[in-house]
Structure 1
Amino acid sequence: MRDISILHGGHFCILATGVDNLTIDNVRADADRDAFDIDCCKNVHISNCTINSPTDDGLCLKSSFALGYARATENVTITNCQVYGYDHGSLLDGTFRTEFKDETPGANHCITGRLKLGTESNGGFKNITVSNCIFEHSRGICIETADGGAIEDVLIDNISMRDVTDTPFFIRLNARMRGPEGTPVGVCRRITISNLNVYDVGGRPKSPELGAGMVMGIPGHYIEDLTLSHIRIYYRGGASKEAIDKEVPQNIDMYPDPYRWQSMPAYGIYFRCVKGLRVSDVVLRYINSDERPAFVLDDVHDADFYHIDAQKGKDALNFILKNVSNFSIHQANGVDDMKLKKAEKTVF
């Protein structure tokens, strides 16, 4: 499929279920729901596409039970694409309007238009690459397994984002378990995000406590072997230190989406239930003063931080560690090199 434009598309612009050896190239989609849904597919190439999807997902990989059995979506490349969340129809008419506001109580952050693996995730996702893409006036990237599938071997590289409406990345392993009874909880491992540049990211205008990168497994089920490198993020900021002590709910069986959490204790990146974490060459800044630490780690094991430059306020912290083991940090601005075998509650 190539060289076409789609306006609204009736429901989803493209819904491919159980399709192998699929190529989508140079497609312009201006959607009022999901733009591309790739479900239970293998050997997929998506390139040079421009997508506008203000009220639902832009590029969405799924692995549902639509075929009557669990089948992974695997061997997928996504490259040289642009994802937006401007008003309906304003991509194809060239106006890129931002007049839409959803004033419904509890509205889902108003603007969507993101790249997502999930939420339907019975079969899992394997061998996925996303590279050389631009996100603007939209959400960022979600990597989710909620229904028992395995997420393995995912590479996100060379991504630029501006005006991000919730979080630059959301990695989630939980247990919604929409599927056959008795299915075990899934796994999420060997994920790499590198060369990510983000400017102006944050939650709703009245919710400055949102916006951080979020990486969360659940107790007993850990996200494993995660690498974050060469990342630069400018957050909107604006939260007070009171956000540090607010409970971060587990939401184990709920639909996984950043809006389910109304507050984050870190302005930068929040990690929970992670094993095997490598973070290097990361720069974090905020546009408006923020009293939260850059990083919070909770139930994280075997974590290494290297060459970190994180802005902090005069009386703010850099890190909060809770129930952390085998932690090390080197060449971090304002932090001494250290190795910690165990940290029940450590702040610095």
Structure 2
Amino acid sequence: MSNTDNDQQKNELSRRQWIGRVSVPAVAATMGFNLFGNTAVAAPKAAKGDNLTGSRVYNIRDFGAKGDGKTLDTKAIQAAIDACTADQGGTVLVPAGVFVMGTVELKSNVTLHIAAQGKILGTDDGKQYYAAQAIPLDIGWTMNDGNVGLFFAANADNITIEGNGIIDGQGRRFRSPVKGAPSPAGISGNHRPYHLLFYKCKNLTVRDLTLLDSAYHSVRVCLCSYVKMEGLHIHGKVINNNDGFHFIGSEYVHVSNCDVESQDDACALFGSCKFITIANCSFSTRWSVFRFGGGVAENITISNCLLYEVYGCPIKMRCSPGSRFENISFSNIVMKDVTGPISIGNGERDSANVGTPKTPGIVKNISFNNIHATVVKPVPLRDSEHPSNYNPGEIFSCLVLNGMNQSYLENISFNDVHITYPGEGTAEQGAVRDVPKVAGEYYQIGVPPAYGMYARNVRGLTMHNMRFEMASPDLRPALIFDTVQDAAVNGLSVQGQNGAESLLRFIKTQDVLLTALRVLTPVANLLQVEGAESSNIKIDGGDLSKAEKHLVFSNGAEAKAVKLRD
């Protein structure tokens, strides 16, 4: 052996020597198990200058948790979290077992790791849940939705919940058997717990978990920043308002690789949500997927998502007076078996408030790119434990851009959009001109008079390479513009029916350019123009051969309003 090799051997520590020089409790606490067996070792008390401060593992069994599916382990889990945060953070370990608990508070610098065979089971004893006093009931933009969580955190930083385990809220136990009767859990309404509730937290991560059957919404994030939701499976169809994600007034939020099956809103963004990305997710629900309402929502991208069996409205934006929605992009979205695919409303939610002077809302710079949708008549949601009743506007639905009175939608664009509709609309439905001026639920305008798109009070509308088809005959127009200004429609391909009043209808509409228009099936009339205000409409090129008549004018519209070159 050379001198060099001999020196190297002297300087290297054998595994046995290394273990002898490092304290067993310190190593075991860091690694989460005993080096000489399978029994977890309790984390040692922090010492000044200890190199393990902030990185220990706290096994909840070491704090008295039984994990037998019967014993209430709330105090043990809370004790482990309290010890962890007191030691400047670390990991609280939920090992294999079923751990029953009520409300537990998460705190700063704590990672809660739920092992693959570990389950948190929300107790069905409603007395074990309490409201988080640090979280106000009224945080703006939403109704009082309660402040009770199975897990909650308020004014905390650096929280992570992770692992391949399960959090089961036992939501069925919080459902009243009949209206007015108490639930088996003894609590109902806004006293029910969310799976996860966060308020004014920073650096928040939830990943790789299964969240089952919440008693209320699953994940509620209020006024938080720098949030990541990754790889979650949320399943809840046992309570009418089993929502998936609720983001309220939060910023720098990123959702990816999640699968959400919910009864109510799958991914709501209320209030001033900014700098949001949602990507590579799937969603199914009875109501909305991406729901916007109130405040200032801006700088948001939603991409590469599958929306299936959404018997409500996959993309629903409700801008009330004084609110603003701006710079929001939807791209690469597949909608399979949905109703009311896209609905944007700007104005009063309720007809009772129409006419009251208020600052108009702003809806501006909203884009939809590469959207493929199959619209169907709604049916009961698969696996739901609730009956489904549908309004007429849900049964007959289309793309709706709905501004009213002094409220407009501006710079709205659609590119590469292909939608197949179920059809069966009647000529009477298509003849409606007096569409209700409300911007509440998407179905409140009643049956849209168009089967493809109904647009009212829009400025700066771009439609490029769009195709509207129908699975069965529909006697409504394919497209209606009502008080639309500055629109460019290029490469629109549409089916129509001979019994319909017209394929397209423009009411009080100005400055529209239609190019490369394709009429796919025989129709009696191509375009009906209404109102003396209509002007500067140009149809340039395309295939109009299947239209028996090109132009019809009524209600004061004049022939000079349209220039046609086929």
Aligned amino acid, residue 329 of structure 2: L
Q: Is the 8 A contact 2:340 2:394 kept in 1?
A: no
Distance 1:134 1:286 in 2: 21
Q: Which has the larger radius of gyration?
A: 2
2:305 maps to which residue? 133
Partner-residue secondary structure (3-state), 1:260: helix
Distance 1:248 1:141 in 2: 24
Change (3 A) 1:185 1:220: closer
Counterpart mapping for 1:1-348 below 5 A:
1-31=206-236, 32=239, 33-54=242-263, 56-63=264-271, 72-85=272-285, 111-118=286-293, 121=294, 123-138=295-310, 139-164=313-338, 166-176=339-349, 184-202=359-377, 204=390, 210-252=396-438, 256-316=440-500, 317-334=502-519, 340-341=535-536, 345=557
Aligned amino acid, residue 300 of structure 2: I
Q: 1:207 Cα deviation (Å)? A: 6.5
Q: Is the 8 A contact 1:280 1:305 kept in 2?
A: yes
Distance 2:433 2:507 in 1: 13
Q: 1:249 Cα deviation (Å)? A: 3.4
Distance 1:169 1:220 in 2: 22
1:104 maps to which residue? none
Distance 2:251 2:302 in 1: 15
1:91 maps to which residue? none
Q: Kindly report the root-mean-square deviation, in angstroms, between the aligned alpha carbons of the 2 structures.
A: 2.6
TM-score by length of 1: 0.81
Q: Give aligned-pair identity as a percent.
A: 23
Aligned amino acid, residue 19 of structure 1: C
Partner-residue secondary structure (3-state), 1:242: helix
Q: 1:114 Cα deviation (Å)? A: 1.9
Distance 2:344 2:404 in 1: 12
Distance 2:447 2:433 in 1: 8
Distance 1:46 1:208 in 2: 28
Q: 1:186 Cα deviation (Å)? A: 1.4
TM-score by length of 2: 0.51
Change (3 A) 1:29 1:272: same
Change (3 A) 1:167 1:345: farther
Q: 1:202 Cα deviation (Å)? A: 4.2
Residues 284-312 of structure 1, C-alpha deviations (whole Å, 9 max, x = no match): 10101111111001011001110010011
Partner-residue secondary structure (3-state), 1:140: strand
1:88 maps to which residue? none
Q: 1:130 Cα deviation (Å)? A: 0.5
Q: Is the 8 A contact 2:393 2:444 kept in 1?
A: no
Distance 1:12 1:174 in 2: 27
Aligned amino acid, residue 319 of structure 1: L
Residues 198-248 of structure 1, C-alpha deviations (whole Å, 9 max, x = no match): 113346597687211100111121100000110000001101111122244
Aligned amino acid, residue 112 of structure 1: W
Aligned amino acid, residue 52 of structure 1: E
Distance 1:183 1:214 in 2: 23
Distance 1:142 1:150 in 2: 14
- Structure 1 unaligned blocks of 5 or more: 64-71, 86-110
Q: 1:132 Cα deviation (Å)? A: 0.3
Partner-residue secondary structure (3-state), 1:314: coil
Residues 82-123 of structure 1, C-alpha deviations (whole Å, 9 max, x = no match): 0012xxxxxxxxxxxxxxxxxxxxxxxxx22522112xx0x2
- Structure 2 unaligned blocks of 5 or more: 1-205, 379-389, 520-525, 528-533, 538-552
Partner-residue secondary structure (3-state), 2:436: coil
Q: Which protein is richer in strand relative to its size?
A: 1
Partner-residue secondary structure (3-state), 2:254: strand
